[in-house]
Chains A and B, each alone.
Chain A
Amino acid sequence: MDFFFEVLIGGLLAGVMYSLIAIGFVLIYKASGVFNFAQGAMVLFAALTFVSLLERGVPFLLAFLVTLAAMILLALLIERAVLRPLVNRSPITLFMATLGLSYMIEGFAQMLWGTQVHGLDLGVSDEPLEVGGLLLSRFDLFAAATAAVLVAVLSVLFNKTRMGLSLRAVADDPLAALSLGIRLQRIWAVVWAVAGFVGLVAGLLWGARLGVQFSLSLVVLKALPVLIIGGFTSIGGAIVGGLIVGAAEKLAEVYLGPLVGGGIENWFPYGLALLFLLVRPAGLFGERAIERV
C-alpha cells in the first residue's frame, strides 16, 4: 500500500509541474480568449535568459530580476506589436498570431543565447526525503511549495483587486470594456507580463529538471490535457487538472503499463482529456459558453 501512495503522491507532485505551465495559458485565455501557443516559447526564453546570465557570473537574484524585466518588456512588445493591431479579430486570427510569435521568440532566444543545452542548478537536490514513511522527491516538494505561493499571489491579485473584474470584462467584450474606460492595452500588458512571470517560474523549475534546451518549449504540450480537464478559464482548474494528469499518468504507468508493455505515461493524459471532451467539454471548472439561440 505504501508503494501505491508513493506513486500517487509522486504523481501529484509531478502534476504540479504541469499546472505551473497550464496557469500561464489560463491567464491569457481569460483575458483575451486566445490559446497562447507562444507560452512554451516564453518558458524557454525565460529559462534560457536566466541560465545564460547565471553562467556569465551574474548573481542568482539579479539574474532573476533581469530576466523578469526582460519578460515584462516582451509582454509590452507583444501587446504593442501584435495584440493592439489585432483587436476585435477572431480567436483563430489571434491563435495564428501566437503561433508565429512562438517561433519568433524561439528564434530570438536562439540568436541571443545560442543553441547548446545548459544545466541549471537551483540548489535543491532531487534526493528523496522520507515523509511519514513515504519517500518523496525534495525537488518535487519544493516545486509544489513554489506553485502554492504563486497561486496564492495570483488569486489575491485577480480576486481582491478590480483587475479581476476588468480582466473578465475585457475577455467577454473588448469594445464594451473600452466604453467603460477600462484600458484594454494596460490589462493585456499586465496579463502578458504576469504570464511571463509564471513562465519564468515554470522555466526555472522545468529547466532544473530537464536541462535548459529547446525541447523545453514542447513541455507545454503536456499542459493541453491539463487545460482540457481543468477548464481553460480557471486557475484552480489548472491546479486540479495538473494533479489529475500527474497522478493518472504515474498510476497508469505503474499498474496498467506492465499489462500492455509500458510506455503509457506519454499518451494516457491525452486519452483522459479526450474522454473529458466527450463528457464535459468545458472541463471541471471551466465556464460553459452561453449562447442564446
Chain B
Amino acid sequence: MPHTSAQPLLRLNHVSLAFKGVKAISDIGFSVAHGEICALIGPNGAGKSSLLNVINGVYSAQEGSIDFDGTTHRRLRPHQAAELGIARTFQNIALFKSLSLLDNVLTGRNLLRRCHWLTQALGLPQARAEEDAQREAAERVIEFLHLQPWRNSIVGRLPYGLQKRVELARALAAEPRLLLLDEPMAGMNAEEKREMSHFIAETNREWGTTLVLIEHDIGVVMGLSDHVVVLDYGRKIGDGTPDEVRRNPEVIAAYLGTRH
C-alpha cells in the first residue's frame, strides 16, 4: 500500500437511501483504505449497486455523508465525483457503442484535458501536443489491458467479455484514485473470469488504484480482495478480511438461507 496514512480514502457514514419510501440502503457505514481492494457482496437486491450509485453521485442518499480523502460530502454530483477522481464501470455495459475502442478510452480522459476548445479549434501547437499526449496515455491503458488488436474496432461489435474489459480501460484512462466496478465478471466463463481478476489485481498493484467491486462469485472475491463488506436487505451484516467474513455466522446464514 503506497499510503500509510491512517485516514481511509473513502468512508461512508450512516448512509440511507429510499426510493418512494422503499428502503434500499439502511444506515450503512464502512471505510475503504488507500490502495486496497474492497469487495461488496450480498444477495440480489441487497443494495450493492445502489451503494455504488451513491458513491459516484448518481443517487443522492437521504441520510448520511461520504468522506472522500478527508473531505466530507453531504451529497455528490456525478461530475463532481469524477473530478474528485472516482471512476466506475456499470453492471450492464455502458460503453459508447458506436465509437471505436480507442475513442471510448479517450473519452475517459475527458477531465485530464486542459486546452481550451478555441485553441483546439484553431489547431494551435499546444492543443496538438496535448492531443498526442492524450492518445499516448490512452494507448498505454490499451496495452496494459491487452486490447491492442481491437483498438480501432467499433466496440458495439466486440464480444461481451471484451466489452467488459474496454469498460475497465475507459474507467482506468481517467487515472482514478477510486475505481468502482459493478460486477466486472458477470456473465463470464471461468477462463474470462480468471483473466479479468488478473487485470483487476494488476491495476491495483501497478497503478496503485483503490478499488471497490461488486461480485457474486465468492471464490473470486475471496482470492482477490483485501476487505469484504457484506450487505443483506440494505443492511451491513459483515465487514472484515475475507477470512473473518467467511466465519461470520450471520453471513453464512444469509448465504445459505438458513434462518432461525
Contacts and interface: CB of A to CB of B under 8 A. Distances in A.
Interface of A: 156-157, 160-163, 165-166, 168-169, 172-173, 175-183, 287, 290-292
B120 to A, nearest CB: 4
Given A165-B106, A168-B96, A182-B107, A157 B121 contact: yes
A183 B121 CA distance: 19
28 contacts: A156-B121, A157-B117, A157-B121, A161-B121, A163-B117, A165-B106, A166-B110, A168-B103, A169-B96, A169-B99, A172-B98, A172-B99, A175-B90, A176-B94, A177-B96, A178-B78, A179-B81, A179-B87, A179-B88, A180-B111, A181-B83, A181-B110, A181-B111, A182-B107, A183-B79, A287-B98, A290-B97, A290-B157
Interface in B156-184: 156-157, 160, 170, 174
Interface of B: 56, 58, 78-79, 81-83, 87-88, 90, 94-99, 103, 106-108, 110-111, 113, 117, 120-121, 123, 154, 156-157, 160, 170, 174
A160 B118 CA distance: 10
Classify the interface of chain A: helix, strand, loop or mixed.
helix
Contacts, number: 87
Counting chain B CB atoms within 10 Å of each CB, the highest count among A172, A179, A180 belongs to A179
A129 to B, nearest CB: 34
A292 B156 contact: yes
Given A163-B117, A290-B154, A180 B87 contact: yes
A107 B120 CA distance: 40
Q: Which 5 A-B pairs have the closest CB atoms?
A: A181-B82, A290-B156, A176-B94, A172-B96, A178-B78
A160 B87 contact: no
A290 B123 CA distance: 33
A165 B79 contact: no
Given A180-B87, A181-B82, A181-B83, A169 B120 contact: no
A180 B96 CA distance: 12
Contacts of A173: 94-97
Given A178-B79, A181-B83, 5 more contacts: A157-B121, A165-B103, A172-B97, A178-B58, A179-B94
